[in-house]
Structure 1
């Protein structure tokens, strides 16, 4: 396995990567942008990585930013994973979506409306829960019905 070459300059597409790294509607775009920015050890990139490390709702993005910052020689601590709400106030969002739907709505209708109304919440939980997302969302939805 060859060692990754890290450049001490900004990438040509820096502005695009910066936007993608902060895109709340897509954890995948943030992850990919952080991964690419990890090839460029500059103060601007370090600022973006520190922001994602401290503030990203998706833990795998925090972990990626942490690993890259360590590679860059930065003195950083990995935050503990959030135990409950990935996004503060998400339960209120779920309840608002549920109340906006007919009483006999399905979990699929709930998921589609959540995605339309609050893609940031939907996306953060999808990124955080991974393959368990649909099961998790269905359980959240069932608990709202009680």
Structure 2
């Protein structure tokens, strides 16, 4: 009988750059860096890696990061539940944050100026929504800007 289970190629130690990966996995202003750290830690099965991936699965505001952590943990045979995309805003008070950014600009500013100012003032918010919304990010942000 042929084994149809996906093969999990996992090292049993921690990588030399474990501390860097741990820091990257917790970097709030860069979802891509967190995703890369999750992917890399997923190659090194240890209790420390499992703990970090479970934390990303349970707390990361970006669904892609949660999903990557879930996939790695599941491949290791961990008892985890698939994350559910949140129906609510991933950053509490997003309307107030965006309004504050808009009010800091001249009255006749463009959407591009608003977008750049948000990136400068609140890179954490910008980055989180960029990761969460994916290809729809610009349309979502422009819609929010128009509605403020």
Tell me whether 69-78 or 2-11 shows the greater mean CA deviation. Answer: 2-11
Q: Confirm or deny that 1:110 pairs with 2:146.
A: no
Q: Once the two structures are superposed, what CA deviation does each residue of 1:77-98 show, in whole Å capped at 9, x if it has no partner?
A: 1232111311122221111111
Matched with 1:87 is 91
C-alpha separation between the residues in 2 aligned to 1:15 and 1:35? 15
Matched with 1:60 is 64
Q: CA deviation at 1:73?
A: 1.3
Q: Confirm or deny that 1:43 pairs with 2:40.
A: no
User: Quick check: 2:56–2:69 contact (8 Å CA) kept in 1?
Assistant: yes
C-alpha separation between the residues in 1 aligned to 2:11 and 2:34? 20
What is the total number of aligned residue pairs between the two structures? Answer: 143
* Alpha-carbon RMSD: 1.3
User: Quick check: 2:8–2:76 contact (8 Å CA) kept in 1?
Assistant: no
Tell me whether 64-73 or 86-95 shows the greater mean CA deviation. Answer: 86-95
In structure 2, stretches of 5+ residues that fail to align are: 1-5
In structure 1, stretches of 5+ residues that fail to align are: none
User: Quick check: 2:57–2:70 contact (8 Å CA) kept in 1?
Assistant: yes
User: Quick check: 2:14–2:44 contact (8 Å CA) kept in 1?
Assistant: yes
C-alpha separation between the residues in 2 aligned to 1:12 and 1:77? 30
C-alpha separation between the residues in 1 aligned to 2:43 and 2:29? 24
